[in-house]
C-alpha cells in the first residue's frame, strides 16, 4: 500500500514497490486496463455487477482477443469494502452518466487522495471529478475497445495507438509514473502537457460515429461504405470543430482520418460495432448526453448552428425511448 501522509498519494516512481491502483468499472475498458496493469501493480477492480465480481474472485479476469490474460486480481462490489484503503491512482472506467455516483461511493472510504485518471468517452467527467475533492486529475483518451462477454470475461477487440495523457489539474510530472507504467505493461501511452486536442479529436469522432453506429445497428458496411453516411459524418464533425475552435482547442489531426483510410482501402474495415450500438442492443442506457448532447449544448451556447449533430442526438434519444418501450412490452 502507498506510504506517506493520508492527504495525498505518494508516487511509487522512486521506490521498488508495486503501485496500488483502483479501477472503478470492470467493463471492457476497465477490464482491459486492469488485466494489463496487474502485470506490474496491485490492482483492485470495483464493479456493481455481483456475478462479474464473483467470477473475478473465483477464477480471475479473463481477457481474450487482441491480448490474452488470466489476471488474478482483487474485486469488490461496493465502496465500503475499501474503507481505510489507500491507492496511488484511481482509473475511472465507468460510463460518463455513472461517474458522479461511482466516485461519491468510493472516495469517502479511502484514506488518501489518489491521482485520478479518466480515459472515459464524453465530456464533463473532469468537471465532476474536480468537484469531489482536491485530487490531482489526469485526463486522456484511449482507442482500446472491447466488450464484456460474460462474468469475468472481456473480449479485447481493438488494440489502439498510444493514449495521450496529461494534467487536467496538477502537474504533468505527477502523472509521469503512471504513463510509464502503462507503457511497461503493453498499453502504449504518451505524456502531454495539454492532451485536450487529442481528446477532442476522438471526442468529435465519437459524437458523430457513435450515434450513427447505434442507428445502423453497428453495421460496418453502413458506417464506412455509404456515401450518404460519410457526408453526414463530415457535416457533423465540421459543426463540432467550430465548437473546438471557439474553445481554443487545436486538433492535431482530422477526427475522421480513420474513416477516410477505411474508405480509401488503406485500413481494414473495423468489425467492432461501437459501444453505443452495443448499449442499444442490450437495452442499456447510452452515453449520448455526455457525447453528442454535450456538444450540441456547447454549440448552442456559442450560437453555432449544429443541425446534423442535433438530429443525431434527437434520433438516438428517440431510439432509447423506443427500445425501452419494447423492453417494457417484452418485445425487445
Q: What are the sequence ranges of the domains in the chain?
A: 12-192, 197-329
Give the closest residue to 26 by CA, choosing from 89, 88, 77.
Answer: 77
Q: Can you give the pLDDT at residue 188? A: 96
Q: Can you give the pLDDT at residue 236? A: 98
Q: Assess whether pLDDT exceeds 80 at residue 331.
A: no
Q: Can you give the pLDDT at residue 30? A: 98
Task: Read off the pLDDT of residues 155-169 as tens digits, 9 standing for 90 and up.
Answer: 999 998 999 999 999
Task: Read off the pLDDT of residues 96-116 as tens digits, 9 standing for 90 and up.
Answer: 999 999 999 999 999 999 999
- Taking domain 197-329, whether its CATH number is 1.10.1040.10 is answered by yes
Cα 223 from chain centroid (whole Å): 21
Q: Can you give the pLDDT at residue 3? A: 33
Task: Read off the pLDDT of residues 304-327 as tens digits, 9 standing for 90 and up.
Answer: 999 999 999 999 999 999 888 887
Task: Read off the pLDDT of residues 268-294 as tens digits, 9 standing for 90 and up.
Answer: 998 888 889 989 988 888 999 999 999
Q: Can you give the pLDDT at residue 12? A: 74
- Taking domain 12-192, whether its CATH number is 3.40.50.720 is answered by yes
Amino acid at each position: 500500500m502507498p506510504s506517506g501522509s493520508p492527504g495525498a498519494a505518494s508516487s511509487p516512481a522512486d521506490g521498488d514497490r508495486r503501485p496500488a491502483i483502483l479501477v472503478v468499472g470492470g467493463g471492457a475498458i476497465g477490464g482491459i486496463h486492469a488485466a494489463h496493469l496487474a502485470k506490474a501493480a496491485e490492482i483492485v477492480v470495483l464493479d456493481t455487477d455481483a456475478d462479474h465480481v464473483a467470477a473475478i474472485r473465483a477464477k480471475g479476469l479473463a481477457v481474450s482477443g487482441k491480448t490474452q490474460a488470466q489476471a488474478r486480481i482483487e474485486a469488490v462490489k461496493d465502496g465500503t469494502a475499501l474503507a481505510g484503503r489507500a491507492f496511488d491512482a484511481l482509473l475511472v472506467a465507468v460510463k460518463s452518466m455513472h461517474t458522479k455516483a461511482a466516485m461519491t461511493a468510493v472516495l469517502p472510504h479511502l484514506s488518501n487522495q489518489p491521482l485520478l485518471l479518466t480515459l472515459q468517452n464524453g465530456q464533463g467527467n473532469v468537471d465532476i471529478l474536480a468537484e469531489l475533492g482536491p485530487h490531482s486529475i489526469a485526463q486522456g483518451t484511449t482507442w482500446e475497445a472491447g466488450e464484456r462477454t460474460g462474468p469475468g470475461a472481456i473480449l479485447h477487440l481493438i488494440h489502439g495507438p498510444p493514449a495521450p495523457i496529461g494534467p487536467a489539474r496538477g502537474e504533468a510530472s505527477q502523472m509521469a509514473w503512471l504513463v510509464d507504467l502503462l507503457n511497461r505493461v503493453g498499453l502504449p501511452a504518451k505524456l502531454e502537457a495539454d492532451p485536450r486536442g487529442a481528446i477532442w479529436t476522438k471526442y468529435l469522432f465519437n459524437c458523430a460515429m457513435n450515434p450513427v453506429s447505434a442507428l445502423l445497428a453497428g453495421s460496418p458496411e453502413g458506417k464506412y461504405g455509404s456515401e450518404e453516411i460519410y457526408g453526414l459524418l463530415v457535416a457533423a464533425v465540421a459543426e463540432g470543430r467550430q465548437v473546438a475552435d471557439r474553445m481554443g482547442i487545436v486538433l492535431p489531426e482530422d477526427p475522421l482520418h480513420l474513416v477516410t483510410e477505411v474508405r480509401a482501402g488503406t485500413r481494414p474495415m473495423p468489425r467492432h460495432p461501437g459501444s453505443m450500438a452495443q448499449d442499444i442492443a442490450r437495452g442499456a442506457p447510452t452515453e449520448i448526453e455526455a457525447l453528442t448532447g454535450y456538444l450540441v449544448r456547447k454549440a448552442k451556447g456559442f450560437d453555432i448552428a449544429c443541425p446534423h449533430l442535433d438530429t443525431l442526438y434527437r434520433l438516438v434519444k428517440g431510439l432509447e425511448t423506443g427500445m425501452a418501450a419494447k423492453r417494457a412490452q417484452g418485445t425487445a
